[in-house]
Structure formats: structure tokens, C-alpha cells
Structure 1
Amino acid sequence: MKHIGTKILAGVLVVLLAGAGVLIWRNLPEDAPRLQEPEETVRQEPEVQPDTTATLCVAGDIVAHMPLVADAWNGEAYDFTHLFADARRYYEAADYTTACLETTFNGPPYSGYPQFCAPDALASGLKTVGFHLLSTASNHSMDTWYSGLVRTLDVLDAAGLEHVGTYRTQQERDTVKIIDVGGIKLAMLAYTFSTNGLPVDSEHPYCVSVYTSDYMTDCSAVDYDLIQSDLDKAGQSGADAIAVYVHWGNEYHTEPSEQQEQLADYLFAHGATLVLGGHAHVPQPMELRTLPDGRTGYLCYCLGNLISNQFDPYTNLTAAVTLTLTRSGETGQVTVSGAEYAPMFMLHASDSNEGRYRLLDIRKSMQDFEQGDTSVVNRSVYDRMKQGRSDLHRIFGTDEVLSLAA
């Protein structure tokens, strides 16, 4: 008993001393378990994902006047691709390219203003030259009524073009449109202030995304509840950022209206990173905007007509805007890390040495003329393009490479 008691006392002593950080192995039976030194724990730092960078090209409003439709007829079929021969390199170089559609595709007979209906070949031509998505929310969304609206979307689907702003069903309206821009997911929203006095189909009230509750009269009452609901859904959609197309403002005014300014501020304050405006038929200011959380966003009140047959001042001026988007690997937030634009000039058939309509890259066309190439541009057009480039700098309020305001 004495021998057993001694062993127990020694074991208790080892346990007590071990608890104090001291290990004693003497007087323990040979088969007693030994206490092990604790292994050093290596702390694993979370792996930071690399940043993702992609480019989005934004163009102006597609206004399919009948002279352009006639010019696209080659004797056998309609082909609109020649219009974009100079500009398409900007569309094709970007990861994703968008514009606003101000016509419908409801089959022949075709028509221009005031109720547009263009050949289906315009849709396939836009796809061919590099476009990916069209905003269909404009004051011409109802030009061929609900049946024409539905057929327009069917034609865009057949051409492989995505779309946002008009809808065939309530489910389509309730589903947030998410596009993939080089690995960056953008939730796309689109609105128009009006439908030119043509009422949205009463049996399908969801078919056009109209942001004013008085769209048949003054178009002055902004439906912020609707917009906020859409922004909330877009913010919960899993997208990395939100882009909003808005058809707004006063036609032929190169400055934004008070409603445009207020709505743009609201959109940025409530989650938008990009605000892409149209409708005025002339360029309006653009800027990089510091957002409430410190990121950089982009705003253009209007890029003007992409294509048209209008002759009013500045209606032949537009630009291809290339935005560089960067998603932080650390935070997942998207910022506009770069923005620049290529000035464009809509050449009318009556001014062209070729006798055809064409959207000209001003910088390239001026350079070609200066080097002696007069196959397309004559001296009169050259002088007008030179003035047009200066006008774009003044109206947009920025040089061709944008920077944040001081």
C-alpha cells in the first residue's frame, strides 16, 4: 500500500507541475503516457483575389429615319452594316457594347417619324458590328403598339441581342437583367419619361418601364417608389454593380434639365454606378462622378443620335464611349477606372462623295483627308467635322479622356 501511495503522489505532482508549465518525467512508471509538446499553429492569411478589369462601350440613340432605310437596300436585301464601317472597331474592341433603340421591328410596311418601324435587318446588322444589348425603353416603345413591342423583342432575341426596358410578361419585368461584361456582372435597368402620347397597353401595364406617373401629360412626376423598388432588387440580385439607361430631357437642348440632374443624383445616391442617358438628339454633358462610398461612377446625360437623318445643329454629333470597369479583388466593388470617347460624325448621303450615309470616326476621317484621301470626305465635310469635334469637347464638358473633377 505504501508503494502504491508513493506512485499516486508522484503522478499528482507531475500533473500539478505540468499545469504550471513544468514537465517532470522521473518516478513515473515506464508505461505511463507522456505529455506532448503542443505543435505551433500556423495562421493562414485569407487569399486575396486579383482585381478584374473589363471594358464597356456605350453608343447613342438609333433613330431609323426612312432615308437611312432606303440607303440600306442593296437591291436584294437590307444591310445596315456599312453605316458602322468606321465605328465598329470601337464596338468590337470592348468586352460588351450597348446602345438605345428608338424604333420597333414590326415587319413591313416600314415607317419613320412619328411612329418608327424598321427592317429586321437593322437588328442583325447591329449584332454583326459588335453590339450586345439595346435599351428598348424610349418614347417610341409603343410606336407599333403592344404587338409591335413583342415582335421587336422577338427579333432582338433572334439576332442574339440582349434587351432591357420593355417586356412581354410581368415575369420579364420583375426579373433583373444581369449582363456579363468581361467577368463583371452588371444589373441593367432602363426607363423612359414618355411614350409620345401613346398609352401603355392597359392589359399589359408592365410592358414599358416608364419613370413618370403622368407620362400622358406633363411627364413631370417622377415615380421614385418604382425606381427605388427596382434599385433594391438590382442591389440584391448578386450583380457587382448597377447601370441605368434613362430616356429623358428636352429635345435639342445641349444642357440637362433640372429633372435630369435631380434624377441622376438620386440614382447615384441609391446604388447606381453608371447612368446612361438619351433622347435629346444632341450631345449633353458627361462626367466621372465620385459616389457616396468613394468609388467612381460615370454619367452622360445624352450621347446624341448614333444614326439619324436629322439636320438640326449638333444632331449629327455623337461618340463611342469606352469605360474601363475594375472590380476589386479585396472588396468586390466596381469602380470606373478609366473613360474615354471617340468623336463621331453622321455623314448624310447628300454630303458624301460616295452618296451614302455613314457614321464617321472624326479623328480617323480627318487624318485620312489630311493625307490626301478624299474618297469619302470633301473639304466642306472636313471643316464641319473639325468644328464638330470642338463642339463635342465643349458640350460634353471634357476632353476625349475623362478625369475626375478637381
Structure 2
Amino acid sequence: MKKIKLFVCLVLLLVGCQPQPQTQPQKEETKNTVSCHFIGDLLYEKPYYDWIEDDSQDKGYYDLVRPYLQNDDLSIANLETPIGGKELNISGTGYSFNASREIGKQVASLDLEVVSTANNHANDRGNQGIDNTLDFLKEKDILAVGTYYNQDDRDQGKYMTIHGIKFGFVSYTYATNQIVSDENQAKVALFNRPSDRKMTQAYKDLLTKEVTQTRENCDVLIAMMHWGNEFTYDISTQQEEVSQLLSDLGVDIIIGNHSHCSQPMEWINNNRTLCMYSLGNFVSADPIVDRTHQEFKNAYNVSMMVSLDIVEENNQISIQNIDYIPVINYYDEHLQNFKLIPYDQYTTQYETSHYHYHNGLTKEWIQQTYQKLIPEKLSNHQLQ
């Protein structure tokens, strides 16, 4: 495997290189770049279904974000709604979710390469829902990570080679809403005991075994984690402990979700691992969110789309050009005209007509929130 060397672009300066003798032929340099975008939860809720009416039509919902994902090499999202199909009862309310194949086609239209399927909704429709989701994603050539047909499927590991760089993927969740039976434990990857959310030695050993095996067979290892607490910008003690463990095991990038808001992004373990604790909801449609106060009702509607490049040059790999842009999940005061809007395209007309504008969801609030979450050392850009 190639030697992994992670650093923030433009921070590391190479000095003291000795010139080659003129009589010695110059070694031809090779450089491969994989451009990436990481987005948050795809959570399909009832108001969105009500708006599209015929769920085969997205009515332009994704038009402004689709180009980002179609013009890169690797796009990753958290699919938090099973695509179990109409035969398993479509639902976008409460704690039980399931989408139709038509919604699945909307997901596929984003040109995602990888989705995490390990989250608390993974087992909402049981084994059949898991298998139907995996079947659909396989049909659309999207790599699913975190739920599996069986133990053999899980043991094979999940890999993808892009521009000569081999990526490995793992994904885990803290629990599922519907408990996975003992005989089906292989179908959903858990990182802790769901009854009390404690990482027992047995769960730690299993995670260590799987991550280590994947690390041995790839150049870049990405872990997708459904973890932490909902409706908070703060990182939990468990997130800190698990991220440290993953980094020690050789994970290069951690993509977190579950909090329904964005959380900090930082280098951890002496710049060994880039950790995004939570990207927030990319797709969602709950205007009420009765489980929290107004700050996080607003945050529920804004996610973080992270972009970066994985660069291989002369057998060394680096993470470069780390950047992000907030994406606003727009809908008007009548719960109509849903649209995903990157911050730089969020016009005054969109801003002032958003359902939550008069509750404080403004461009100024977005700017202030993300400036607190993301340190300058990771991204030099200033939100305008």
C-alpha cells in the first residue's frame, strides 16, 4: 500500500532539496487527484412528500447542488431513509422511515458514489427493508456501507479504486430504532451496545478487527459514523473517544452525522485524521422539530457540504484544498417550493421568504454559526 501522508495544503513547506546533477535524467513525476464532496443526511420527511405529490418528480429540488456532485470523482452521503419500496409502507414521520424506489431514483440522480446506510433508521423496515435498499443501490451502482446482506457480505469489505487510488470504507451506528435480533447482528454495523450506548470490549474488538482489515487493503480509509447527541454543536465524550480510536487504527477521514445540525471539523491526533463530527441534514422537511428550541429548529435546515482533494504524488497521498459551503434546505411559508440552495446562491428573495426567516434563519445567523464551528486553519475563505 502507498504511504499515507496527510497535511493541510500550503501549510507544509518542503525545504533543503538538493538539485539533481545535470547528467542524471529527471524522474518523471506522477500525480493523481480525486476530487470529493461529502454531504449530510438524506432524511425524507412527510412535508416533502406532500409537496411533490407524485414522488417520481423532484420539481427542481436538487438543481443547484447536483452540479457539485456530478462534476467530482467521489461523492458520499448518509442515506437515513431505507428504500424499502411501497410494499413496505412509505413513511416520513415519527421514528419510522421508508421511501419508494421513486425517491431512490432521486438519490441516484445526484450521482453519488458511496452512501452510508448505518444509522438509527437502518432497521425501520427490518431485514426486507435492508435487503431492498441494498438491492436498489447495487442496481444504481452506488456502494452501500454499513448494512449488509449477511456475514459473508460484511467480511468482504467495501472498496473502490479511483484514478489509481484505492479507497476503503467502514460505517457504524450507535443503535437502530428497531432492535436488530441476535441472529441478524451482521446486517447492521454497530459500534456500541445499543441498550446503553456503551462501547463494550466486544464491540471495540469487532470494530478494531474490521477497521484494521480494511486499512490493510486500501490507500485511503474513510469511516462514516452515526454518533453523538442530537441538537447540539458540542462534541460528546464518546465522539472524542471513538474518533481517537479510529484515528489510531489508521482512518484518514471521519464523516459524522446524527446531530441534525453541523458540528466542528478539525484535524485530530496530530493531524493524522480529518474529522467532520457532523455535516447536518442535507435533505429534510420538518418545519416544527418539536424536540428542540429555535436555534436548532433553524440549524435543522442548514447542512455543510465539504469539498477536498485526495492527491497522490510520487507515491505519497495528501488531503488538500479542504473547503466547505453551507447548504440551506429552503421551503416557503406555505411549505411549498422546496429547494437545496448553496450559501453563495441564497439570495435575499430566498432568505426573506424562508419558512423560518422570521424565527432567525438569516444569512447573518448562518455566517456567524459556521464561523464558530470551522477554524480558519482548515479553510481560509470568508463567507460573504
Q: TM-score range by the shorter chain?
A: 0.7 to 0.9
> CA 1:85 to 1:385, structure 2 compared with 1: closer, same or farther past 3 Å?
farther
The 2-side partners of 1:193 and 1:81 are apart by: 35
Counterparts of 1:314-325 in structure 2, within 5 Å, are: 314-325=299-310
> CA 1:146 to 1:349, structure 2 compared with 1: closer, same or farther past 3 Å?
farther
The reply on whether 1:344 has 2:327 as its aligned counterpart is yes
The reply on whether 1:224 has 2:204 as its aligned counterpart is yes
Contact 2:261 2:299 in 1 (8 A): yes
- Could you report, residue by residue, the CA deviation over 1:372-398 in whole angstroms, capped at 9, with x for unpaired residues? xx4x55366497341342244245233
SS at match of 1:61: strand
- Could you report, residue by residue, the CA deviation over 1:234-263 in whole angstroms, capped at 9, with x for unpaired residues? 1221x1111000000001011110100111
- Could you report, residue by residue, the CA deviation over 1:310-332 in whole angstroms, capped at 9, with x for unpaired residues? 34241111121111111232xx3
Equivalent of residue 200 in structure 1, options 167, 180, 195: 180
Q: Which residue type is aligned with residue 260 of structure 1?
A: Q
The 2-side partners of 1:297 and 1:267 are apart by: 9
Counterparts of 1:6-405 in structure 2, within 5 Å, are: 47=27, 49-74=29-54, 77-80=55-58, 82-108=60-86, 109-112=89-92, 113-196=94-177, 198-212=178-192, 214-215=193-194, 217-222=195-200, 223-237=203-217, 239-289=218-268, 291=270, 297-311=273-287, 312-329=297-314, 332-350=315-333, 355-366=336-347, 369=348, 374=349, 376-378=350-352, 381=357, 384-398=361-375, 402=379
Q: Which residue type is aligned with residue 103 of structure 1?
A: T
RMSD over aligned Cα atoms: 2.5
Q: Which residue type is aligned with residue 70 of structure 2?
A: E
The 2-side partners of 1:289 and 1:50 are apart by: 29
Any unmatched runs of 5+ in structure 1? 1-42
Q: Which residue type is aligned with residue 340 of structure 2?
A: L
The 2-side partners of 1:357 and 1:118 are apart by: 18
> CA 1:307 to 1:194, structure 2 compared with 1: closer, same or farther past 3 Å?
same
Contact 1:102 1:138 in 2 (8 A): yes
The 2-side partners of 1:385 and 1:246 are apart by: 29
Count residues with an aligned counterpart: 341
> CA 1:220 to 1:162, structure 2 compared with 1: closer, same or farther past 3 Å?
same
> CA 1:81 to 1:99, structure 2 compared with 1: closer, same or farther past 3 Å?
farther
Percent of pairs with identical residues: 24
The 1-side partners of 2:118 and 2:64 are apart by: 27
The 2-side partners of 1:199 and 1:289 are apart by: 33
TM-score by length of 2: 0.82
Any unmatched runs of 5+ in structure 2? 1-22, 288-296
SS at match of 1:152: helix
Could you say which structure has the greater relative contact order, defined with CA pairs below 8 angstroms and 6 or more residues apart? 2
SS at match of 2:128: helix
- Structure with the greater alpha carbon radius of gyration: 1
Q: Which residue type is aligned with residue 176 of structure 1?
A: G
Residue of structure 1 equivalent to 2:14? none
Residue of structure 2 equivalent to 1:28? none
CA positional deviation for 1:46: 10
